[in-house]
Amino acid sequence: MNSLTRLRYVALAEATSFLALLVAAYLKRQDQGELGVQILGPIHGALFLAYVLIAMNIRAQARWSARATAGILLGAVVPFGGYVVDRWLAKLPASDDL
């Protein structure tokens, strides 16, 4: 699996965990327990770090502009952003050297 494919998988997982964490945080505020936040918080945190590290490691090889890199990183902090990034990355020409 090349790095671009890995980034796509992590982007999807990170976006999904972010949405799940938002739901868990809402439920916590409704006094329905904080177990979801306790479980999903560290999972989302690890996926977020993996997303940023992979993106930063392949940006030079992928020849992303500063604007493209910023957009990809913004995708990690905006709800549904990882899904948008995945779709954008899927449209890029395939490269075996990433």
In a domain, 31, yes or no: yes
How many domains does the chain contain in total?
1
Domain annotation covers residue 98 = no
Between 96 and 28, name the one with better pLDDT: 28
Residue 37 lies in a domain: yes
Instruction: Provide the pLDDT for residue 32.
Output: 86
- Domain membership of residue 96 (yes or no) is no
pLDDT, one tens digit per residue, over 66-77 is: 999 999 999 999
3-class secondary structure, 68: helix
Prediction pTM value: 0.88
Residue 97 lies in a domain: no
- What is residue 90's predicted lDDT score, i.e. its pLDDT? 93
In a domain, 56, yes or no: yes
- Cβ-proximal residues to 13 (8 Å cutoff; 6+ apart), any chain: 47, 82
pLDDT tens per residue across span 11-54:
999 999 999 999 999 999 998 888 989 999 999 999 999 999 99
The residue range of the domain holding 73 is 3-91
Q: What is the pLDDT of residue 95?
A: 67
The answer to whether the beta carbons of residues 8 and 90 sit under 8 Å apart is yes
